[in-house]
């Protein structure tokens, strides 16, 4: 587990992930400072895409995809000895073994949304 954080402004959308033992101290307060969090896991810069035009009124969605493009790929599934020993492909394994996923869930401690003013972030 850990913390995901996203900074979204007119210039960029940046996303970080921090394991529980690496959560920045200022993230544990209401005085966030993303400039101290290091390199984001992903950063999308708006130089060729007007972020304010194309990103608005979004919804937060939690999804567990068992056999998506990556895990559902025969190439990926068959190169993993543990997976290929279970079934010939991901979809067949999931369909035949629903009990294997009874403990698949999201445990969410909290969701916090902050709004950036001129000099700080304020919790909404």
Average pLDDT, consecutive stretches of 10 residues, N- to C-terminus, the chain (124 residues): 89 92 87 91 87 86 87 88 92 94 88 71 59
Residue 86's pLDDT is: 93
Q: How is the chain split into domains, by residue range?
A: 2-60+107-123, 65-105
**Token pair in block for residue 16:** 């970080």
Model pTM above 0.75 = no
Residue 43 near residue 6, CB atoms below 8 Å: no
Distances (CA, A) of 11 to 43, 44, 55: 10, 9, 12
Cβ-Cβ contacts under 8 Å for 5 (sequence gap 6 or more): 15, 16, 17, 18, 27, 34, 37
Structure tokens at 56: 């608005």
pLDDT of residue 92: 94
pLDDT value at residue 118: 54
């Amino acid at each position: 587990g850990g913390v995901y954080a996203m900074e979204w402004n007119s210039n960029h959308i940046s996303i970080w992930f921090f394991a529980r033992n690496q959560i920045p101290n200022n993230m544990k307060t209401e005085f966030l400072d993303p400039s101290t969090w290091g390199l984001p896991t992903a950063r999308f810069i708006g130089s060729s895409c007007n972020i304010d035009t194309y990103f608005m009124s979004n919804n937060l969605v939690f999804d567990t995809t068992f056999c998506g493009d990556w895990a559902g790929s025969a190439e990926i599934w068959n190169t993993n000895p543990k997976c290929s020993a279970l079934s010939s492909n991901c979809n067949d394994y999931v369909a035949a073994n629903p009990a294997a996923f009874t403990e698949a869930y999201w445990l969410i401690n909290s969701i916090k949304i902050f709004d950036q003013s001129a000099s700080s972030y304020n919790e909404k």
